[in-house]
Structure formats: structure tokens, C-alpha cells
Amino acid sequence: MEAIADALAQSDYEIVCLQEVWVYSNFELIRHRTKRRLPYAKFYHSGIVGGGLVILSRYPILEVTHHPYRLNGLPIKVTHGDWYSGKGVASALIDHPVAGVIEVFNTHTHAGYGSQKNDIYLAHRVSQAWEIANLLKNSASRGRNVIAMGDFNSEPDSILHKLIVQHGQVADAWQAQHPSTPASATSGSSMNTWSKNYSSKESALNSDLGKRIDYVFYRKTSRFWCTGSRVVFTDLIPELKCSYSDHFGVEATFTLVGRDKNSVIPLSIWEQAAYDNVQEFEPLIYKTILTLFRQDTANAISNARFQLTLFWISCLLVICGIIIESLIAANVLDALWLSVIILLIVTGFAVFGTIIGLIGFLFGNAEERGFKHIIQEVESFIEGKKEYDSRRASAVTQEDNFSSDRSEGFGPLVEIDGRNQIY
């Protein structure tokens, strides 16, 4: 943490997003050492142990928010920790002197467990991609410049990456600058000393095994576009001879154009505030995620019922244990050693039953409703897009008909007082 703080203090970065800063004292250390270069800093409190998200800025931070993900792992999976960290999307409105308001999003999405084809939490992670994509669109619709950074735990060919880019209508800074260059790994690289793939041999370093799962996404406009992107913090810490983190950093450079009346860019562009559509929508993506959500809704219901079954079995065993203890206390059964064993078993089943019952009753219902809500959102989006495209097609047809009529010397018919009038 000290090495990261020193490196940031000596850099020329203007906005920095960090993940996995779990300990508040580490945030204070980084904030103290970078305060000259990055005087504005926010630590986002969330969940039980915290989400570890930090945003540093050279320019004033006007507002901060934290949007917790609706689906965020399972509380019964203690070793995963995603549910306990309260993962979500941190955002900060930054007042940039040239670009105006920039909304910066920082996130660390749910980690994938299992292979990419057999990811047991894929639906949770896709739901998070859907949520952050909506946040990006909503921010852009308010006229803000948009940047999203973080550990997205998803590779470029994954459905999560496609969903963020297409539904959120943003660009991947690396892909935008290096469309024909193989992706540079940010996690699991053979150059990273914390990676199981690490090797000091030159041949292994050149192979650069690993995955690109850390990104800088942005909304391209006529006043805001990316001009460079690269992977950084690949060197070793000189004093320690180890990497700064188990993930390398991602850097993006942007060109900003201020709203100046004397600018060579026409003012009509400012008024239009047009956004470039990065990619066309793929209907298959939405059908795929709907199928995925429906399957996991059924799984959530099944898991909740199984957990409740275990709860009732635990209750039955606890009752049986209490009855046996009562018989021993009444001298019906003379077995002190049995009393001790049963007491331990009853206590264990009581604790287990309470925990599994709460998870089944509370979290099981919450997970089911979370999936149903997102399914409703996706279905509404699909229907709304169909309606919107239909109206646009109808408007184009009417415009073509109008042009055809005008070329023949007639305008469209308009009904006034029950009569057809021509103008």
C-alpha cells in the first residue's frame, strides 16, 4: 500500500479508481501521501466488511453515491465474501475545468467461480453488468461525461463485456486504441509475482499468460474521446522485488474540448450532444440473459426450499434431542455421557437450523425477487426497443411519402371539421 501510494503521488494522473482497499487506515495512508497531486478522495463504506472502493481526483468532487448490487453472491458462501463486502458501484461527480461534469464509476464485480462455461454465479454477475450499464446510460442521458473503471472479472469475449458495451453504449478504452492488438493481461500475468503463472524466465514473460478483466469504459462524444490506453504498474517494487498488486493497472488518456463560443467546433454540435453508438445491439444477448435469469430464478426457488427443508429437519432433531435430555434428567435413562453428547448435537443443529432457516426465508426470497425484477427490466427494454424502432420506421416511411407527395405538387391530407383539406 505504501508503494502504491508513493507511485500515485509521483504520477501525473488526474482521476484514479482503486479496488480492494479493504482497510480504512490504508485509504488514509494513500490519501495523505497523494493529497498534493490528488487532493480530493472518497472511501465508500458498504456491506459488513466494506467494498474496498476508492476514488481519487485532482479536481473537486461534487457528489458521491454508492449503488449496491441487487444480486451479490450468497451469504452461505462465507469464503467467497462477495455478499459480506456489499459490492456495488461507487460514483463521483467531478467538476473538471475543461470538460465540465464527469461522472466516474468505480466497481469490483462478483468474482467468477468455476470455468467460464460453468460459472456458478454467472447470472449474478450478468445482473451486475446490466445494472452498471443502466447507470452509465442514465448518467449520459443527463448530459454528463461518463467513465467507468474497475475490476469487472470478465474477459472481452464474455457476455458481461458485451452487455456493458452494447447496453451501456460505452467503449472499451483498450479496444478503441488497439483494435487489432491481442489483449494485454491484467490478471494472472506471467509478469506478475503474485500470479501462479509467474516466471522470471524471459521466455515465460514473453508469453504473458493471464486474462484481461480490468477496464476503463467511456462514453465517446464530440467533446470527449479517448486518445490512448495502456497497461501500467507492470514493474516490480524496487525495494521489495514484487509486483504492486495481483492485478496490473489500466491507464486511459482522454482529449477534452471545452464549450467555448470561440471554438472552431460549431455550436450546433454542443446543442445536439450526440453520442456515437459504439456497437449495434445484438438481440441474441438479451434472449440469452433472459434464459439465464429464468433458469437461476428456478434454481433460487429450489435452493430456498432445500434450505427450508434442512431447517425443519434441524427443528425436528432439536426437539428429539430435548426429549431425550428430559428423559435423562427424569432418570428414565441413566447415561450421563449420552446427555453430554446429545447436548452438543442439539446445540449444533440449533445453530445450523437458525442460520439455514434465515438464509432460506430471507435471502431465498430476496434472490428470487431480485431475478424477477431484472427479468421485468430486460423484457420491458426489449418491448420498448421494438416499439421505438417501429415508430422510427413509421416516421421514416411517412417522411418518404411526404417527400413523394410534395414532388407531385400535393401535401398530405389533414382532417379539419370533418373535411379533408389539402395544403
Catalytic residue numbers, as ranges:
247
Sorted by sequence, the CB contacts under 8 Å of residue 224 that are 6+ apart come out as: 99, 145, 218, 254, 255, 256, 257
Residue for grid cell 482503486: 18
Retrieve residue 58's grid coordinates.
485532482
From CA 87, how far away is CA 152, in angstroms rounded? 12
Sheet containing strand 214-218, strands side by side: 61-68, 88-96, 100-108, 145-151, 214-218, 171-172
C-alpha cell at 190: 506471467
Three-class SS state of 334: coil
**Cell triple for 406:** 410534395
- Taking the C-alpha atoms of residue 190 and residue 199, their distance in angstroms, rounded to an integer, is 6
Look up residue 153 and give its three cell numbers: 472479472
- Name the maximum alpha-carbon separation found in the chain: 110
DSSP state of 333: S
